[in-house]
C-alpha cells in the first residue's frame, strides 16, 4: 500500500507537558484512518503538527514523500482541513463563505462555482445558501464548516471531530458525506472520540491516550485485542449460587455476573456460546425472558488497555 503521510517519532511538548509522545504512523492512499482518543489525548495537536501549524520537538513528517513545511505550497494545495472549531466569516453567506475558502485553492471561476455547488450538495446545505452563519443551527454550521474545508476537492482530508455536538440527522449526513469523499478517491484522517463513528467509517484506527499510540489496526484487529470476545446477557429471575457456579464451568467462560435479574456471561472465544448457554438453561429448566449477544466494542478494548472508559 502506498504511504501518503509518514509520521515518524513525533513528539510535541507544551512547556513541560508532553501532548504527543513519540508517535509514528503512516496513512495509506484511499483509506479513512481514525484517530480515536479521549479528550486531551493529543489528536488535534498531532493534526496541527502534520499541517505544519505547530512546531514540534522531535520527529519528522512527510507527505507524498516530501518533508512538510509551512511553505510547501504544492502539498498544501492537495490538502483540505476541517478544524475542530468552526471557522467561517459571520459577514458572509453560506455560499460566499464556501466560495471564499474554495477560492484560496481554485482560481478558475467556472470550476470554482461547480465545486462550491458540489460541496453544498455533499453536506446538504443547498437550501441555506443565502443564510448567514448566525442564522444556522449548530449542526448546519458544522456542515458549512466542513464544506468550507473540502470544497476544493482535496486528495487528503483532515477532519477534527466534525461531529461534536451535532444532532443525529446532521451527524448521519456528515458521515455519509465523508463516505462519499472517500469513494471519490480522497485519503482521510478522521479524528474523534466517538467509537461508533470509527467502527462505521474507518478502515484503520489508531487509539491514542496521553499522546501515545496504545493500539492500532482495523476495528476487527483491535477487537481481537480484547480478552472478552463475546458478552451474553440473559434476563432471568431464577438463578442461585449453584447455577452461577455451574455456568462458570461451561466452556470458554471467562467471567459471570448476576445482578438485578440480569445474567452477564463473558466469553474468551466466540464459538457456539449462545447455543451452550441456552442448552444449559433448558436442561436445568430455568426460565428466561430475553437474551442478547454482544461483540466487544472499541470502548471495551480501550477499557482493557487503559483501565478507563473512552468517554467520560
Ligand X SMILES: Nc1ncnc2c1ncn2[C@@H]1O[C@H](COP(=O)(O)OP(=O)(O)OP(=O)(O)O)[C@@H](O)[C@H]1O
Binding site for another protein (CB under 8 A): 14, 48, 51-55, 69-71, 73-74, 76-77, 79, 81, 83, 85-89, 101, 104-105, 148-149
- Of positions 41, 44, 97, 145, contacts Mg ion by CB under 5 A: 44
Cα distance between residue 210 and residue 18, in whole Å: 8
Closest separation in Å from C-beta 149 to ligand X: 16
Instruction: Pick one of ligand X, Mg ion, another protein, none as the site partner of residue 53 (Cβ within 5 to 8 A by kind).
Output: another protein
Instruction: Pick one of another protein, Mg ion, ligand X, none as the site partner of residue 40 (Cβ within 5 to 8 A by kind).
Output: ligand X
| Beta strand ranges found along 134-290 (DSSP E) | 156-160, 187-192, 204-209, 212-217, 230-235, 253-259, 262-267
Helix pair angle (241-249, 273-283), 10° resolution? 140
Cα distance between residue 212 and residue 310, in whole Å: 14
Contact between residue 233 and residue 192 where contact means Cβ atoms under 8 Å apart: no
Of 17 and 282, CB closest to ligand X: 17
Closest separation in Å from C-beta 251 to ligand X: 41
Closest separation in Å from C-beta 41 to ligand X: 4
Which CA distances in Å does 243 have to 53, 162, 247, 250, 280? 61, 48, 6, 11, 10
Instruction: Pick one of ligand X, another protein, Mg ion, none as the site partner of residue 194 (Cβ within 5 to 8 A by kind).
Output: none
- Of positions 7, 23, 43, 171, contacts ligand X by CB under 6 A: 43
Stretch that binds ligand X, among 34-42, 212-220, 268-276, 281-289 (CB under 6 A): 34-42
Contact between residue 266 and residue 231 where contact means Cβ atoms under 8 Å apart: yes
Of 213 and 291, CB closest to ligand X: 213
Cα distance between residue 111 and residue 249, in whole Å: 68
Sign of the CA dihedral with 16 first, then 17, 19, and 24 last: positive
- What binding mask, one character per residue, do residues 136-175 give for ligand X by CB under 6 A, x or -? ----------------------------------------
Strands 79-82 and 156-160: parallel
Contact between residue 299 and residue 310 where contact means Cβ atoms under 8 Å apart: yes
Of 212 and 233, CB closest to ligand X: 212
> What's the gap between Cα 58 and its chain centre?
26
- Of positions 31, 44, 186, 189, contacts ligand X by CB under 6 A: 44
- What binding mask, one character per residue, do residues 171-210 give for ligand X by CB under 6 A, x or -? ----------------------x-----------------
Q: Which residues within the stretch 106-135 sit at the binding site for ligand X (CB under 6 A)? A: none
Of 148 and 232, CB closest to another protein: 148
Contact between residue 46 and residue 10 where contact means Cβ atoms under 8 Å apart: yes
Number of residues that bind ligand X (CB under 6 A): 13
Of 164 and 305, CB closest to Mg ion: 164
Closest separation in Å from C-beta 193 to another protein: 20
* Four-CA torsion 219, 225, 226, 227, nearest 10 degrees: 150
Binding site for ligand X (CB under 6 A): 14, 17, 19, 37, 39-45, 84, 193
Amino acid at each position: 500500500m502506498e504511504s501518503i503521510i509518514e509520521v515518524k517519532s513525533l513528539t510535541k511538548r507544551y512547556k513541560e507537558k508532553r501532548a504527543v509522545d513519540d508517535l509514528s504512523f503512516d496513512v495509506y492512499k484511499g483509506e479513512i484512518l481514525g484517530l480515536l482518543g479521549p479528550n486531551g489525548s493529543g489528536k488535534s495537536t498531532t493534526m496541527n503538527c502534520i499541517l505544519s501549524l505547530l512546531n514540534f520537538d522531535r520527529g519528522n513528517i512527510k507527505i507524498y514523500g516530501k518533508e512538510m513545511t509551512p511553505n510547501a505550497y504544492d502539498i498544501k494545495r492537495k490538502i483540505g482541513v476541517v478544524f475542530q472549531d468552526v471557522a467561517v466569516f459571520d459577514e458572509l453567506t453560506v455560499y460566499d463563505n464556501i466560495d471564499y475558502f474554495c477560492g484560496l485553492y481554485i482560481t478558475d471561476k467556472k470550476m470554482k462555482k461547480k465545486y462550491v455547488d458540489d460541496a453544498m450538495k455533499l453536506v446538504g446545505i443547498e437550501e441555506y445558501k443565502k443564510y448567514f452563519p448566525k442564522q444556522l443551527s449548530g449542526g448546519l454550521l458544522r456542515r458549512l464548516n466542513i464544506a468550507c474545508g473540502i470544497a476544493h476537492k482535496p486528495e487528503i482530508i483532515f477532519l477534527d471531530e466534525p461531529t461534536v455536538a451535532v444532532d443525529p440527522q446532521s451527524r448521519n449526513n456528515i458521515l455519509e458525506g465523508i463516505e462519499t469523499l472517500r469513494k471519490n478517491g480522497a485519503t482521510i484522517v478522521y479524528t474523534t472520540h466517538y467509537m461508533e463513528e470509527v467502527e462505521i467509517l474507518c478502515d484503520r484506527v489508531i487509539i491514542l491516550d496521553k499522546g501515545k499510540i496504545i493500539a492500532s489496526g482495523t476495528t476487527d484487529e483491535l477487537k481481537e485485542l480484547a480478552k472478552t470476545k463475546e458478552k451474553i446477557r440473559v434476563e432471568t429471575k431464577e438463578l442461585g449460587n449453584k447455577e452461577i457456579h455451574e455456568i462458570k464451568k461451561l466452556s470458554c467462560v471467562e467471567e459471570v455476573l448476576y445482578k438485578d435479574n440480569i445474567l452477564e456471561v463473558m466469553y474468551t472465544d466466540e464459538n457456539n456460546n449462545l447455543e451452550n448457554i441456552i442448552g444449559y438453561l433448558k436442561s436445568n429448566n430455568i426460565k428466561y425472558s430475553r437474551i442478547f449477544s454482544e461483540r466487544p466494542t472499541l470502548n471495551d478494548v480501550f477499557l482493557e488497555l487503559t483501565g478507563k472508559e473512552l468517554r467520560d
